[in-house]
Chain A
Amino acid sequence: MPGMLMDGGGAIVPFSGEPGHAVAAAPPVRNIRHGVAPPISRVYVSFSSGNLLQVACLRPPNPEGGGDRGAEEVSGGRVVEVNLGGGGSGPGGADAEEIDEAEMRRIEYGSVPAFALLQSRKNALVDGSGMSRLPSVSEHAEWWQYVLEYSKTIGSLLGNPDSLSAYMIDDPKMILKVKEKPTSLKAAWELLEIFFVDKQLQTWLPERLVDWLADYDSLLTKTENTIYRTLINFQKKLINLQVVEDDPDYWSGLSAALSVGWLDIVVNMLRFHGSYQLDQMDSRETENGLVEAVAVLVSTMPRMRPDLPSGKLGQCCKTRSDFIKALEKWRGQVSKLECSAFWIQCGHQKTRDGLKSLLHIMLGNIKNLTASTSHWLELFASHLLYIRPFTVGFEGMHQLAQKCIQLKPSADNSRLTGLLTGILSENTEVVLAECTKNFGPWMVTHAMELLTADNDYADMMLHEERPNFGGISIEELHRLVYAQVLCSHALTWQIAPTYLSSCLNQGLGLLEILLLKQPIQDNRVVLKTLEICRLYELENVSTNIMKIAGIYHWKHGRKGTGVYWFQQANDKVRLDRIAQQLFEHIGKSVTDDSFKQWEGLLELLGSDIGSAGGLEFLHRYRDFKRSLQMAQEGRTGESVRQTVEFLIQLMRNPSTPQRFWLPLLHDSVRLLNCKPCPLLNVAETTLLLNKLQELSLAKLRPDFSNIHLPSHALNSVRLALASNLARSILEEP
């Protein structure tokens, strides 16, 4: 459960930046709302599954009071269940607003197949290469493609916030339109994918970041200003504006949108300009021409990227040389317009200044870029677009980010900016710490695959086995932590085994405990548990569960179900004990017709319990009884012969208890006497007589228990056998 708790959650992260920090900080205190009137005399706790802690708060017992009080009985205390892991939505705090429990559960379930597929591919690669060490996986050419596929699958689970293209305009006066609220979880996932997995797009990293910002600008800060917020505010204002170009917010909005490359929005907004109105055309022809010229330049801005979604503005350049050529040409056009003589003829001062500012942004004027952006990350994106489009690699980006942070310091550091700075500083520990602290166990567990996809250091750091944690790696630790979160809910424990089975050292140990903790009262849970045991070849666990289920049902009066489970568990000890009980029962009333009562149970016990000696005897005994009944009713030769065979078998078998010898023989007396010809041959009769002799001797011993048989039983058997012997001697050749 490490890492699950509230603010102190980062404790298990190997972040050594602040030594002793986690220890020194006071642990968070939570009041348990149990509703019991104070004082509390005693608290009991018990962990059930995963991070669920049951807390019993007891009041001081008062032996004198209470009972006599009658109807108004005072409560003795209350038991509450506390989920220490924050329920299904792993990330604590702010994320609860973004993603509710049911949605988080959908994500948890949805990510299982992708995770399992990636693990099996990893295992296949390791097996195929004949190497046992995991780090070799990342050296396989196809590995990062597998990881990318995994990343895309998980990413799509997290939702599809509208990208820049969806800021498109149905209502011409609508600047921003967001169909689906973006989540920080998705934003963080994409960041990791951009920087750690997607090798193909590495040369286009700046543009990917620009796209990312377009999707998630609204999440950068809760309290400070962003371009998104600027535009939203202007949108609200727009309805009441008569002459937009007179409003400074119009121009600042335009500059802001252009500085981070939201070209569609810029062009759309430019068309709000008053000079486009038909009644103005004549008098403001030049002004309108300038506005349109800027709009054209904006819509043809060269972008170095693999593709542009259809309908998006800009000029797509796939290679560096194409881009340089296009950029030079475009910059030339921008400069030419900037120096044009038409500006003098433009009578509207604010239009002139606003448009010029846009041109300066396009030319990469640092002053203009700094002025038009709000957040440091926006400034960062504008640098990537207009000043350093060829920035690749972490080092350059990190320096640039530091510069932007200096220029636009932010007091409200969001989870995303923290993550991004961690990524850019190439500090895997920080990235991991940010993920743990802000996005919870689900994120850490699944993001680990991204971090290690193509990073030897991260690979080593996350897979190194640490003695401090009982010899497991950080990766395994986080999987165990996540599995515990899954175990904490009745709807998600079933997917925990997937993650536990991916842990090399301690996963199966925890899985065994998890399975043994499942309630056996619910038959569906038992079946599910056994299915998981089968899947992971945990035979001893399933045997245990079956034994426990057997005992439970046996004790609750469902003898048949109990016996069924004991048989499944191959529990010879208990089956023998049950057979013993049956013996005692049958032994008391063996000659009665109570035969039927235990016959059903015997049927349930089945016939394939060869080794359970007692049961084997009971089965033979049942067969004998049945056959005897048939023989006495129908007296067909066949059934008589069969009965005698059973009798001989029973008497020969060493597992037949001695105390049953006499009842068996006594039962057969009638049969032996009524047949004209002898039923037993000499050898058989001699065997039975010997047994009878043995019994007579045993009878003298004090521990001999005589079953409820008539006192003459022994003699009548002896007589019947003697006459049978006589006849068979005569008949034998």
Chain B
Amino acid sequence: MAERQVAELGAGAACVGWNHCGRRLAAGAVDGFVSVYDSQSQPSPSSKWQAHEHAILNIVWLPPDYGDAIACVCADGTLSLWEEVTAYSDGQVKVYELLDSLELDKWQLQAEFQNITDPVSRSGKPACTSASIAWSPRRGESQQASFAIGFNSDSPNFNSCKIWEFEEAHQRWLPLVELGSPQDKGDIVHAVAWAPNIGRPYEIIAVATCKGIAIWHIGLSAESDGSLSTENVAVLSGHDGEVLQLEWDMGGMTLASTGGDGMVKLWQANLNGVWHEQAVLDCNVSH
């Protein structure tokens, strides 16, 4: 394993995001500045501007179909105009759609709903600290848009990770499945990642809760009763403290997780389908 330095972040950097090919990097800072690094050429930013008055909490690149664009979420509750999906602190899910890919300033609220499947409990506004969304890495136009979302809130109903799919016929979002066994359903969700599927007959989604990282297999074809089969194939624990990020490699074979413990852990399944910790990258030692 070799290491290569690709960028030197400025003071106050709070969050970073990579573009689709992993060669451009955007960093948001506590003073509201955004810096973009072209990691192949030089370690200093190629551009820098103040996007917000307050600290930037999260920064995401738009899919390349929309050009090189970044969405920033700011601590004051605003977000730069180009955020595609956002989850509000009232437990609502809002899906925006871009009307025209040539003009990124034209967005409309496409749908708004709560992350619950049971309509009886649809009352009250839970206090929510964070939400985790993972869009399905769609292949081809024929597949419907879908995403998995889980919350970190005080309401168990909202927390549990669910997959929503857009139903073209009725132009609405429908919950497909809920990822959680009955006793774990209310667990706080810290991170969600949907693995690229290069040809498996099932999708793989990793969900980090307070109990560890759960690996889920979701069948692609519906069972006889119309539901999708889900199987929790592993619960991985390893991080000391909260899991902050989950990231799949391009083949969906290796999962990388980062935690509050400053560790990066790499997870793989062996030939018997057993998931295990493949390696650990320790970032706490600087030399």
| Set of chain B residues within 8 Å of A508, measured between Cβ atoms | 199
Given A1-B254, A2-B253, CB of A42 within 8 Å of CB of B6? no
Chain B residues within 8 Å of A505, by CB: 199
Check: A510 CB closer than 8 A to any chain B CB.
yes
Assess whether A75 is in contact with B5, with CB atoms less than 8 Å apart.
no
Residues of A within 8 A of B30 (CB): 61-63
A61 with B279, Cβ < 8 A, contacts A470-B200, A517-B20 known: no
Min CB distance, B233 to chain A, in Å? 10
Q: Are B22 and A517 in contact (CB under 8 A)?
A: yes
- Of the 9-residue stretches B62-70, B84-92, B181-189, which lies at the interface with chain A? B62-70
- The 0/1 profile, CB within 8 Å of B marked 1, for residues 167-192 of chain A is 00000000000000000000000000
**Is residue A45 within 8 Å, beta carbon to beta carbon, of the partner chain?**
yes
Instruction: Determine if A63 and B31 form an interchain contact, defined as CB atoms under 8 angstroms apart.
Output: yes
Interface-located stretch among B125-133, B154-162, B164-172, B263-271: B263-271
Select which of B55, B67, B271, B286 is within 8 A of A552 by beta carbon.
B67
CA distance A419 to B55 in the complex (A): 58
Q: In chain B, what residue has the closest Cβ to A555?
A: B67
Q: How far is the CA of A85 from the CA of B101 in the complex (A)?
A: 37
Neighbouring B residues of A517 by C-beta, 8 Å:
20-22, 250
Q: Across the interface, which residues of B come within 8 angstroms of A75, CB to CB? A: 8-11
Question: How far is it, in angstroms, between the C-alpha of A42 and the C-alpha of B285 when the chains are bound?
Answer: 14
A466 within 8 A of B: yes
CB within 8 Å for A578 and B256 given contacts A1-B251, A77-B13, A509-B199: no
Which stretch in A49-57, A112-120, A258-266, A589-597 binds the other chain?
A: A49-57
Task: Give the number of residues in B that approach A within 8 Å (Cβ atoms).
Answer: 84
Tell me whether A57 and B283 are in contact (CB under 8 A). Answer: yes
Contact between chains at A484 and B6 (CB < 8 Å): no
B9, B12, B15, B259: the one within 8 Å of A63 (CB): B12
Closest to B39 in A: A79
Residue interface mask A7-28, B partner, CB < 8 A = 1: 0100111100000001100011
Q: How far is the CA of A74 from the CA of B18 in the complex (A)?
A: 23
B16 — which chain A residues lie within 8 A by C-beta? 44, 56, 58, 79
Q: Are A61 and B13 in contact, CB atoms less than 8 angstroms apart?
A: yes
Q: How distant is B1 from chain A, measured CB to nearest CB, in Å?
A: 6
The stretch of B112-120, B144-152, B207-215, B241-249 in contact with A is B241-249
Closest to A25 in B: B276
Closest chain A residue to B251, Cβ basis: A510
Contact of B1 among A8, A30, A36, A79 (CB under 8 A): A30
**For residue A420, which residues in chain B have a CB less than 8 angstroms away from its CB?**
none
Closest-by-CB residue of B relative to A500 is B198
A82: Cβ under 8 A from any B Cβ: yes
User: Judging by beta carbons under 8 Å apart, are A513 and B64 in contact?
Assistant: no
In this complex, the member of B197, B199, B245, B277 whose beta carbon has the largest number of chain A beta carbons within 10 angstroms is B199
Q: Which of A29, A48, A54, A547 contacts B280 (CB 8 A)?
A: A29
Known pairs A47-B22, A516-B20; A42 contacts B244 (CB<8 A):
yes
CA distance A466 to B139 in the complex (A): 23
Query: How far does the alpha carbon of A682 sit from the alpha carbon of B258 in the complex, in Å?
Result: 79
- On whether the beta carbons of B282 and A578 are closer than 8 Å, the reply is no
Residues of B within 8 A of A283 (CB): none
Q: Does B7 contact A (CB under 8 A)?
A: yes
Judging by beta carbons under 8 Å apart, are A67 and B279 in contact? no
Contact with A along B53-78 (1 / 0, CB 8 A): 00100000000111110000000000
A532 / chain B contacts, CB cutoff of 8 Å = none
Task: Tell me if B48 counts as interface (CB < 8 A to partner A).
Answer: no
Say whether B21 contacts A27, CB under 8 Å. Answer: no
Contact of A47 among B202, B244, B249, B285 (CB under 8 A): B249
- A509: chain B residues at CB < 8 Å are 139, 197-199
Asked if A468 and B271 make an inter-chain contact with CB atoms under 8 angstroms apart, the answer reads yes
- B222 interface residue, CB < 8 Å from A? no
Within the complex, which residue of B21, B259, B264 is in contact with A49, where a contact is CB–CB below 8 Å? Answer: B21
Q: Are B256 and A53 in contact (CB under 8 A)?
A: yes
CB closest residue in chain B, given A472: B199
Q: Is the CB of A514 within 8 A of B282?
A: no
CB of A636 closer than 8 Å to a CB of B = no
B68 contacts A555, C-beta separation under 8 Å: yes
Whether A31 and B285, one on each chain, are in contact in the complex, defined by CB atoms closer than 8 angstroms, is yes
How would you classify the secondary structure of chain A's contact residues: helix, strand, loop or mixed? Answer: mixed
Q: How many Å from the CB of A488 to the closest CB on chain B?
A: 10
Q: Tell me which of A29, A37, A50, A516 contacts B286 (CB under 8 A).
A: A37
Determine whether the beta carbon of B4 is less than 8 Å from that of A81. yes
**Does residue A714 face the partner (Cβ distance < 8 Å to B)?**
no
Q: Is the CB of B251 within 8 A of A480?
A: yes
A473, chain B: closest CB distance, angstroms: 11
**Considering the chains assembled together, what is the distance between the CA atoms of A31 and B286 in angstroms?**
8
Is B93 positioned at the interface, with any CB of A under 8 Å from its CB?
no
Whether B5 pairs with A79 at a CB distance below 8 angstroms is: yes
CB-nearest residue of chain B relative to A474?
A: B271
Contact residues in B for A56 (Cβ distance below 8 Å) = 7, 9, 16, 25, 27
A540 interface residue (CB < 8 Å to B): yes
- CB pair B258–A5 under 8 Å, yes or no, is no
For residue A206, CB closer than 8 A to chain B, the reply is no
Partner of B200, one of A46, A76, A506, A512: A506
Residue B29 interfacial (CB < 8 Å):
yes
Contact A469 B273, beta carbon cutoff 8 Å:
yes
Contacts of B101 in A (CB 8 A): 551, 574, 577
Minimum Cβ distance to chain B for residue A517 (Å): 5
A54 CA / B65 CA spacing, docked (Å): 23
Q: Which residues of B, 4-53, contact A by the 8 Å Cβ criterion?
A: 4-18, 20-23, 25, 27, 29-31, 37, 39
For the complex, give the distance between the alpha carbons of A63 and B64 in Å.
33
Whole-angstrom distance between the Cβ of A54 and the nearest chain B Cβ: 6
* Least distance between B70 CB and chain A CB atoms (Å): 13
Which residues in B have their C-beta under 8 angstroms from that of A52? Answer: 22
Contacts of A128 in B (CB 8 A): none
Q: Which of A6, A59, A512, A513 has the most CB of B within 10 A?
A: A513
Cβ contact within 8 Å between B9 and A27: no
A2 partner residues in chain B, CB cutoff 8 A: 253-254, 268-270, 278
Interface membership of B262, Cβ < 8 A: yes
Q: In the complex, A555 Cα to B15 Cα: how many Å?
A: 26
Inter-chain contact B199/A470, CB cutoff 8 Å: yes
Are B21 and A518 interface neighbours, CB within 8 A? yes
Q: Does A43 have its Cβ within 8 Å of any Cβ on chain B?
A: yes
Cα–Cα distance between A707 and B1 once the two chains are bound (Å): 66
**Residue of chain A at shortest CB distance from B10:** A76
Task: Considering the complex, give the chain A residue whose CB is closest to the CB of B11.
Answer: A66
A323 at the interface (CB under 8 A from B): no
A31–B280 alpha-carbon span in the complex (Å): 8
Q: Which of B217-254 contact A (CB under 8 A)?
A: 244-245, 247-251, 253-254
The answer to whether B22 and A48 have CB atoms under 8 Å apart is yes
> How near does chain A come to B186, taking the closest CB pair, in angstroms?
26
- In the complex, the chain B residue whose C-beta lies closest to that of A513 is B250
Whether the Cβ atoms of A40 and B250 lie closer than 8 Å is no
Cβ-defined contact, A76 with B247, below 8 A: no
Binary per-residue interface labels of chain A (59-87) against chain B in the complex, 1 for a CB within 8 Å, 0 otherwise: 10111011101000111111111111111
- A487 proximal to B (CB < 8 A): yes
Tell me how far the C-beta of A335 lies from the nearest C-beta in chain B, rounded to whole angstroms.
57
What residue of chain B has the Cβ atom nearest to residue A571's Cβ?
A: B101
Q: How far is the CB of B65 from chain A (nearest CB, A)?
A: 6
Contact between chains at B280 and A55 (CB < 8 Å):
no
- CB-based contact B198/A6 at 8 Å: no
- The closest CB in chain A to the CB of B268 belongs to A2
Q: Are B55 and A63 in contact (CB under 8 A)?
A: yes
Q: Hey, which chain B residues are within 8 Å of A58, CB to CB?
A: 9, 13-16
Since A30-B282, A33-B3 are in contact, a sample of 10 more A-B pairs with Cβ atoms closer than 8 Å, ordered by chain A residue number, is A28-B279, A32-B264, A42-B15, A49-B21, A76-B27, A80-B5, A81-B3, A87-B2, A509-B139, A554-B102
Going nearest first, the 7 A-B pairs with the smallest beta carbon separation are A48-B22, A509-B198, A470-B200, A76-B13, A468-B273, A506-B199, A66-B11
- 21 pairs from A and B in contact (CB 8 Å cutoff): A27-B278, A43-B259, A45-B256, A46-B18, A48-B21, A50-B250, A63-B12, A78-B8, A83-B3, A466-B271, A469-B269, A469-B273, A470-B201, A471-B201, A480-B251, A508-B199, A509-B139, A517-B22, A540-B140, A548-B64, A551-B65
